């Protein structure tokens, strides 16, 4: 029989967070013991658990001694109760085993949740085991959804989870009618008033000032037309809701590797003096620490300035990422860009009061301050350029010493198995890319750099989806990629989606937003309206693309049942065709059109017709080369299903990457015309999205509660005006090109209201001309003494 010592009655005090732990075991048991022993009629905290059957005093070897745990039992001897219903307890002084009758049982704190006490009490051990068993069975979801007997409880636990895993990953949330109907009523009233206004203006000309009247009417018609173009796409706005838990149930099954699709992230930068390396480092760190499987993410940084400073900054970023990434994933912090995380003016101890988190956060903040010092040192050293230019540590000259004349560069910084973080886990791929530049070649600015990244990533990782962000847009929501996958990987609606656009949000904007950087009307109203038609416009950053859509393929089309022909009706009732001769001509015309489409099959390839490629006739290699260029590795990647296949020879792949990065690779190909980001305008984003919609694709606007990306906005009037001027010049270039939505893309998959929105995007700069004239008309009226409206006759 084990010996039991008397409890020591010492005053106890609650623990304080941050206290250092004592040597030995935890003193929770002694706390319970002292609180129990402090009572006069309380027995020893150790009791013997017995069944209701009779137990003799010499059967003590079969009795288990357990800790009373969270409940305090009061015992006193009772003569009238049978001895077989008494409990055996150990006397605190003599150590003798006595029988006591429990009068009542109550918890120490009745309001406390049982789960706070942990696991280990015999009183509710079976219940916890049953709950754990039930949760384990709920997590076992069969991939085929097969269920056993419905009367079995275990099968009933599997049915709801299995059904939830096969539901859609997102849904449309229409705007409440109480909000949208008043807006529609106001727009209808304005249209009616506008019609009455023009009825009056046109039917009441001013004969003595005809030129003033005609000019004012033309300007007013232009204003009305631009207003109508802006209002109609807003007629049916929608919101969307995603289900991240269903995404995990479907593609992240327990005991199996995750089946989420791979994503290549493109970060583009040009000048490290205008785009500080510390900002680029924060963007890269937020991508490397994203809440997504590590082997499914690859980050590509395009340095179009071939700056040694950017390369050195990325190297330092990789070293700091080994500490930052495990810290973010362990404590699940947001955002995962250290500059903005440590700058938050919030109580970071509100939900994370564990002393370990406090210590690690302080240590990580010190590490980040040292990282900033190293980055600033690199920036300071870069200002002193040596006479012979920069060189690598092994002595080889840096290829980017001449910014306008250098060879292509590809450097895989992380991605090898030898590069691990401090927790022993792999880091996502981080690849530095700088395309070749030679004098006399048009490099097409940002669009050309992104196309170079598209080809390079196809050889190295070939992910089916591509995320494009600017270097100053960090990932504010670590689950942003999962939000996009809820649309792109949806088995019902995902096949027709070419890209998922996130709204732009900015940091460092003053309270009054004097330069209108938030652009609430466009991002919170117009884009929702476009999402209800065919999808939002691509705005240049924060967008997840489908790679096959970037290759210029058409969207998948559903097979429609054959329409009714003249054979369905009697000849006397046939009104659609006049005679058999007309029908034969129509058939010949249709056959001719089919032959023309077959000849241009390279432009009409189905993006997702993977199953039919085995039976379909092979496309000649010459057509592929005219479309994608002469690279065997890249051509092979375009034929892989869903971006499969990353097994390659690293040295050979790097040679292939240098080949596709050459400045003459795009010559006599469809790059920039039908493939990749489209050339011809400084606003390549509008043109690229427009071409995709013309191919029949649709896009999706995703607005999670926590903004997915945040960037830096212009903080002075000069930068803001320069930005607005760039957008206006890009719209004018599209208006004067062959891709103008006024006359391009008819008889394709572009919807009429979506076309109106694109027309509004390219004609809004021209509104400045009638606006300037209309503002000058009152001055002409005062100078000439004539008016552009008829004078009212005095009432007789």
CB atoms within 10 A of CB 50: 18
Any domain includes 122: yes
Check residue 745 and give its pLDDT.
Answer: 83
Q: Mapping DSSP to helix (H, G, I), strand (E, B) and coil, where does residue 557 land? A: coil
589 appears as a binding residue in the annotation: no
Residues 624-673 have pLDDT tens digits of 888 998 888 899 888 876 555 444 556 678 888 999 999 889 998 999 99
- Percent with pLDDT over 90 in the chain: 37
Check residue 176 and give its pLDDT.
Answer: 87
Any domain includes 727: no
CB burial string 620-651: b at 16+ within 10 A, e below = eeeebeebbbebebbbebbeeeebeebebeee
C-alpha to C-alpha distance for 379 and 312, rounded to whole angstroms: 9
Q: Phi then psi for 527, rounded to 5 degrees?
A: -65, -35
Q: Is the distance from CB of 255 to CB of 454 less than 8 angstroms?
A: no
- Percent with pLDDT over 70 in the chain: 68
401 pLDDT more than 70: yes
274 appears as a binding residue in the annotation: yes
Check residue 255 and give its pLDDT.
Answer: 84
C-alpha to C-alpha distance for 301 and 409, rounded to whole angstroms: 11
| pLDDT band of 400, cuts 50, 70, 90 | confident
Mean pLDDT value across residues 329-356: 82
User: Computed from CA positions of residues 734, 738, 743, 746, in that sequence, does the dihedral angle turn out positive or negative?
Assistant: negative
Domains identified in the chain, total number? 1
Check residue 133 and give its pLDDT.
Answer: 56
Any domain includes 42: yes
Indicate the pairing of strand 46-49 with strand 64-67: antiparallel
The least confident of 47-56, 185-194, 404-413, 672-681 is 47-56
6 appears as a binding residue in the annotation: no
Mean pLDDT value across residues 758-774: 92
470 appears as a binding residue in the annotation: yes
- Please indicate whether residue 146 or residue 231 has the higher confidence score (pLDDT): 231
Q: Which of 45, 48, 66 is nearest to 57 (CA)?
A: 48
Angle at CA 188, nearest 5°, toward 184 and 190?
A: 115
Q: Which of 450, 307, 289, 501 is nearest to 389 (CA)?
A: 307
Q: Which of 554, 644, 556, 634 is nearest to 602 (CA)?
A: 554
HSE value, Cβ hemisphere, 13 Å, CA-based, for 667: 6
H helix count then E strand count, the chain: 23, 18
Q: Is the distance from CB of 700 to CB of 501 less than 8 angstroms?
A: yes
Instruction: Give the active site residues.
Output: 304, 685
445 appears as a binding residue in the annotation: yes
| pLDDT band of 265, cuts 50, 70, 90 | very high
Mean pLDDT value across residues 226-234: 88
Residues 116-156 have pLDDT tens digits of 333 333 334 444 454 455 555 555 433 333 443 434 433 34
Check residue 432 and give its pLDDT.
Answer: 93
Do you find a cis peptide bond into 232, omega within 30 degrees of 0? no
- Please indicate whether residue 14 or residue 590 has the higher confidence score (pLDDT): 590
Reported pTM: 0.72
Contacts 24+ apart (CB under 8 A), 516-521: 517/713, 517/714, 517/720
DSSP at 308: H
Exposed, middle or buried by CB within 10 Å (0-12, 13-18, 19+), for 179?
exposed
Q: Is the distance from CB of 610 to CB of 642 less than 8 angstroms?
A: yes
Q: Is the distance from CB of 678 to CB of 670 less than 8 angstroms?
A: no
| Order of strands, sheet of 64-67, starting from the edge strand that comes earlier in the sequence | 64-67, 46-49, 87-90, 97-107, 71-76
Q: Is the distance from CB of 468 to CB of 539 less than 8 angstroms?
A: no
C-alpha to C-alpha distance for 694 and 754, rounded to whole angstroms: 10
Contacts 24+ apart (CB under 8 A), 602-606: 602/626, 602/627, 603/552, 603/554, 603/674, 604/554, 605/553, 605/554, 606/553, 606/554, 606/556, 606/557
Q: Is the distance from CB of 673 to CB of 473 less than 8 angstroms?
A: no
Q: Is the distance from CB of 544 to CB of 482 less than 8 angstroms?
A: no
3-state secondary structure 126-150: HHHHHHHHHHHHHHCCCCCCCCCCC
The least confident of 66-80, 375-389, 550-564 is 66-80
395 pLDDT more than 90: no
- Please indicate whether residue 366 or residue 126 has the higher confidence score (pLDDT): 366
What rounded mean pLDDT belongs to the chain?
76
Any domain includes 77: yes
Check residue 59 and give its pLDDT.
Answer: 40
Any domain includes 64: yes
Residues 566-600 have pLDDT tens digits of 444 444 444 444 444 445 555 556 656 654 544 44
List, in order, residues 6 or more apart from 409 with CB less than 8 Å away.
306, 399, 400, 432, 433, 434, 661
Q: Is the distance from CB of 498 to CB of 698 less than 8 angstroms?
A: yes
CB atoms within 10 A of CB 659: 19
Check residue 234 and give its pLDDT.
Answer: 86
Any domain includes 295: no
C-alpha to C-alpha distance for 24 and 15, rounded to whole angstroms: 16
What is the four-CA torsion angle of 622, 442, 466, 705, rounded to 10 degrees?
A: -150
Q: Is the distance from CB of 739 to CB of 773 less than 8 angstroms?
A: no
C-alpha to C-alpha distance for 238 and 533, rounded to whole angstroms: 9
C-alpha to C-alpha distance for 552 and 534, rounded to whole angstroms: 18
Any domain includes 683: no
Check residue 568 and give its pLDDT.
Answer: 41
Any domain includes 84: yes
108 pLDDT more than 90: no
| pLDDT band of 698, cuts 50, 70, 90 | very high
Q: Which of 324, 239, 289, 773 is nearest to 524 (CA)?
A: 239
Q: Is the distance from CB of 244 to CB of 479 less than 8 angstroms?
A: yes
Q: Phi then psi for 710, rounded to 5 degrees?
A: -135, 145
Angle at CA 425, nearest 5°, toward 350 and 423?
A: 55
Residue 122 belongs to domain spanning: 28-127
CA distances from 222 to 73, 217, 229, 230, 234 (A): 87, 9, 11, 12, 19
Angle at CA 345, nearest 5°, toward 340 and 346?
A: 110
């Amino acid at each position: 029989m084990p010996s039991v010592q008397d409890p020591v009655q010492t005053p106890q005090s609650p623990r304080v967070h941050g206290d250092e732990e004592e040597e030995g075991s935890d003193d929770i048991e002694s706390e319970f013991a002292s609180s129990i022993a402090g009572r006069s009629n309380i027995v020893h905290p150790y009791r013997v658990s017995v069944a209701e059957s009779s137990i003799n005093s010499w059967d003590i070897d079969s009795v288990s001694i357990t800790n009373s745990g969270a409940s305090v039992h009061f015992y006193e001897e009772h003569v009238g109760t049978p001895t077989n219903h008494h409990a055996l307890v150990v006397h605190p002084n003599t150590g003798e085993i006595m029988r006591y009758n429990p009068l009542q049982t109550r918890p120490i704190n009745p309001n406390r949740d049982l789960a706070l006490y942990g696991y280990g009490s015999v009183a509710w051990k079976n219940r916890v085991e049953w709950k754990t068993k039930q949760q384990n069975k709920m997590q076992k979801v069969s991939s085929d959804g097969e269920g056993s007997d419905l009367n079995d409880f275990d099968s009933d636990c599997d049915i709801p989870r299995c059904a939830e895993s096969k539901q859609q990953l997102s849904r449309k949330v229409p705007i409440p009618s109480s909000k949208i109907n008043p807006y529609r009523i106001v727009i209808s009233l304005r249209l009616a008033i506008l019609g009455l206004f023009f009825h009056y203006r046109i039917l009441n000309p001013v004969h003595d000032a005809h030129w003033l009247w005609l000019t004012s009417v033309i300007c007013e018609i232009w204003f009305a037309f631009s207003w109508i173009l802006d209002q109609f796409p807003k007629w049916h706005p929608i919101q969307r809701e995603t289900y991240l838990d269903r995404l995990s149930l479907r593609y992240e099954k327990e005991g199996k590797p995750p089946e989420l699709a791979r994503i290549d992230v493109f970060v583009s930068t040009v000048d490290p003096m205008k785009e500080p390396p510390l900002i680029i480092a924060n963007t890269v760190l937020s991508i490397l620490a994203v809440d997504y499987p590590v082997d499914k993410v690859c980050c590509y940084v395009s340095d179009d300035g071939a700056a040694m400073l950017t390369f050195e900054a990325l190297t330092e970023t990789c070293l700091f990422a080994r500490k930052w990434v495990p810290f973010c994933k362990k404590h699940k912090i947001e955002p995962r860009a250290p500059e903005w995380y440590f700058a938050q003016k919030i109580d970071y101890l509100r939900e994370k009061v564990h002393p370990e988190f406090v210590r690690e956060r302080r240590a990580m903040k010190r590490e980040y301050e040292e990282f900033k010092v190293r980055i600033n040192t690199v920036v300071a050293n870069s200002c002193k350029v040596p006479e012979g230019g920069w060189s690598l540590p092994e002595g080889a000259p840096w290829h980017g010493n001449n910014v306008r004349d250098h060879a292509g560069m590809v450097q895989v910084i992380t991605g090898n198995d030898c590069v691990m973080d401090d927790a022993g886990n792999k880091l996502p791929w981080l690849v530095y890319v700088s395309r070749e530049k030679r004098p006399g070649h048009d490099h097409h600015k940002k669009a050309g750099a992104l196309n170079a990244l598209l080809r390079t990533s196809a050889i190295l990782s070939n992910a089916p989806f591509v995320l494009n962000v600017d270097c100053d847009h960090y990932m504010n929501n670590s689950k942003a990629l999962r939000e996009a996958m809820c649309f792109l990987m949806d088995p019902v609606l995902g096949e027709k989606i070419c890209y998922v656009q996130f709204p732009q949000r900015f940091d460092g904007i003053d309270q009054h937003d004097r330069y209108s950087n938030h652009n609430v009307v466009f991002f919170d109203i117009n884009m929702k309206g476009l999402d209800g038609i065919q999808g939002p416009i691509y705005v240049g950053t924060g967008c997840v693309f489908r790679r096959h859509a970037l290759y210029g393929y058409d969207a998948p089309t559903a097979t429609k049942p054959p329409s009714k022909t003249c054979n369905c009706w009697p000849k006397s009732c046939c009104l659609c065709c006049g005679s058999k001769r007309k029908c034969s001509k129509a058939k010949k015309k249709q056959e001719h059109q089919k032959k023309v489409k077959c000849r241009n099959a390279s432009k009409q390839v189905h993006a997702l017709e993977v199953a039919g490629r085995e039976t379909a006739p092979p496309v000649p290699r010459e057509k592929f080369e005219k479309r994608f260029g002469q690279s065997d590795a890249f051509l092979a990647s375009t034929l892989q299903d869903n971006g499969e296949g990353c097994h390659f020879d690293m040295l050979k792949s790097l040679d292939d990457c240098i080949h596709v990065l050459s400045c003459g690779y795009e010559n006599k190909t469809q790059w920039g015309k039908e493939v990749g980001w489209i050339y011809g305008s400084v606003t390549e984003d509008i043109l690229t999205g427009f071409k995709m919609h013309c191919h029949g694709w649709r896009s999706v606007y995703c607005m999670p509660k926590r903004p997915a990306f945040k960037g830096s906005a212009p903080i002075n009037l000069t930068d803001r005006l320069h930005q607005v001027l760039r957008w206006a010049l890009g719209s004018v270039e599209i208006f004067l090109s062959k891709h103008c939505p006024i006359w391009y893309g008819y008889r394709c998959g572009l919807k009429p209201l979506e076309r109106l929105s694109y027309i509004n995007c390219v004609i809004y700069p021209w509104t400045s001309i009638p606006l300037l004239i209309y503002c000058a008309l009152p001055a002409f009226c005062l100078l000439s003494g004539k008016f552009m409206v008829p004078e009212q006759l005095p009432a007789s």
